[in-house]
Structure 1
Amino acid sequence: MIGITDIEAAARRIADHVVRTPTAPSPGLTALLGVPVAAKLELLQRTGSFKARGATAKLLSLSEAERAAGVVAVSGGNHGIALAVMAAALEVKATVVMPRTAPARSVELAERAGASVRLTEGMDSAFELMLRLRDEGLTLVHPFDDPVVIAGQGTVGLEFAEDAEELTDVLVSIGGGGLIAGVAAALRARRPRVRVWGVETEGAEAMSAALRAGGPLPVAVSSLVTTLSAPSVSRLTYDHVSALVEEVLVVPDREAVRGCLDLAGHAKVWAEPAAGCLLPAARQVAARVGAGARLGLVVCGGNAAPGDLFGWARRFGLL
């Protein structure tokens, strides 16, 4: 299990390379949800998401031989952007494998940063190609199955614990589970009474399926939220979630997109569906907790192009 000392060490290591993003009370979300809400604004992070933290922590931990070999990662968008940008900043050659369903803007940003981008037909085949390139000699920077990466993501929780006022419940979206594993570990150490809730979208339910089965297993991926669409979680992230997380809630894609519109309208932030899914889940948590609930939302990223978001909104009849 990742401990608070691992997360504190990661915070010191990456401090000069990433942004300490603001934690702010949101009057708009408080009015919308009927309970006090504070948001950790990771969409203001370098590269537009929390992924810069874990990628940087891993890159800074590599040996000279590992750096010289070049790095490889698989991504539905944000991890690839983060690795491409941070690897370029640290003068390491990067290869990013993405499914063709990844947002065109994510592919463009990774290529613009200097990474070699390899596209596959789906997320399953993207993971397969990543492992093949690792076996051919590239250094793997896994998006979630790595304790160094998880400790880097855990710095989000460390800052949230230090900067937020009183909280009862924190909501974190789940793809492969690296973010929630790190955040839950940090909060358990610093705010042990705070409950942590995970959020997935329908068709990207790798953690929910793992919890039902008693361990990681492959799942079919069909959600439009590619940044949450891991084909399975890892034993490492599963162990953290099963031990530290209250429950994993699953919301429809439509509600995740509506959550993006609500975040724009009420919180005045432009977020992607991986963050938008927190709002319908927050309504459930607020109703279940009742009076006295004080919610924290990890607004994990903002790398959604306007055309994509408005296109999804029109598809679901939200505009």
Structure 2
Amino acid sequence: MIGISDIEAAAQRIAGHVVRTPTVPSPGLTELLGAPVTVKLELLQRTGSFKARGATAKLLSLTEAERAAGVVAVSGGNHGIALAVMAAALDVKATVVMPRTAPARSIALVEEAGASVRLTDGMGSAFELVTRLRDEGLTLVHPFDDPVVIAAQGTVGLEFAEDADELTDVLVSIGGGGLIAGVAAALRARRPHVRVWGVETEGSETLSEALAAGGPLPVAVSSIVTTLSAPSASRLTYDHVAALVEDVLVVPDREAVRGSLELAEHAKVWAEPAAGCLLPAARKVVERLGDGARLGLVVCGGNVTHREITEWSDRFGLR
């Protein structure tokens, strides 16, 4: 299990390479949800998402031989962007394997940063290819199944605990579970009475299905939210969620897109559906808890285009 000392060490390691993102109360979301809301604006992080933290920590941990050989990652978008940009900044050669369903802008950003991009037909085949490249000598920078990466993602929770006023419940989006594992570990140490809730979209139910089954297992990925579309959780992230997370809530893609529109209108931030899914889940939490809930939302990323939001809004009748 990742401990607070691991997270504090990660914070020292990545300081100066990443942004300490704002933690602010949101009057607009407070009015919308009927409970006090504080947001951690990780979409203002370098590369547009929290992923820069884990990628930076892993790159800084490499030996000289590993740096010379280069690194490889699999990504539906944000992890690949973060690794490509941070590897370029630290002068490490990077290869990023992405499914063809990844947002075109994300693929372009990875290429523009100087990384080599390998495209596959889906996330399952992407993970298979990245395993082969690792076996050929590249160092794998896994998006979530790595204690170095999880500890660095936990610095989000460390900052949230230090900068937020009193909270009762914090909501965190889940792909493979690296972010929520780290955030939950940090909050358990610094704010032990705060409940942590995970949020997934339908068709990307890695941790909710794992919890029901008693351990990680392959899941069928069909959600439009590719940045949350891991083909399975890992034992490492499963163990943290099982031990530290109150519950994992699942919301439809349509409501995740609606949440992005609501974040733009009420919180004045342009966030991807991977963050938009927090709002319908927050409504469920408020319904369960009633009066007294004080919510914290980790707004995890903003790498989405106007065209994508418009197309999804039309598709789901939200215009």
TM > 0.5 fold call:
yes
Structure 1: give runs of 5+ residues left out of the alignment. Answer: none
The answer for the alignment partner of 1:27 in structure 2 is 27
The answer for the alignment partner of 1:14 in structure 2 is 14
Equivalent-residue separation in structure 2 for 1:307 and 1:203 (angstroms): 22
Deviations 1:192-215 (A, max 9, x none): 000000000000001111000000
Equivalence map 1:102-113=2 (5 Å): 102-113=102-113
How far did 1:142 drift? 0.3
Equivalent-residue separation in structure 1 for 2:131 and 2:244 (angstroms): 29
How far did 1:287 drift? 1.1
Deviations 1:268-296 (A, max 9, x none): 00000000000000000011111110000
Across the two proteins, how many residue pairs are aligned to each other?
Answer: 319
The answer for the alignment partner of 2:166 in structure 1 is 166
Equivalent-residue separation in structure 2 for 1:95 and 1:212 (angstroms): 35
Equivalent residue letter for 1:236: L
How far did 1:256 drift? 0.1
Equivalent-residue separation in structure 1 for 2:288 and 2:276 (angstroms): 20
Equivalence map 1:197-212=2 (5 Å): 197-212=197-212
SS in 1 for 2:176: coil
SS in 1 for 2:215: coil
Equivalence map 1:1-319=2 (5 Å): 1-319=1-319
TM-score normalised by the chain length of structure 2: 1.00
Identity %: 85
Equivalent residue letter for 2:112: R
Equivalent-residue separation in structure 2 for 1:196 and 1:80 (angstroms): 26
Moved more, 284-293 or 295-304: 284-293
Deviations 1:242-269 (A, max 9, x none): 0000000000000000000000000000
Q: CA RMSD in A?
A: 0.3
Equivalent-residue separation in structure 2 for 1:130 and 1:273 (angstroms): 26
Equivalent residue letter for 2:93: K
Equivalent-residue separation in structure 1 for 2:309 and 2:192 (angstroms): 36
SS in 1 for 2:196: strand
TM-score normalised by the chain length of structure 1: 1.00
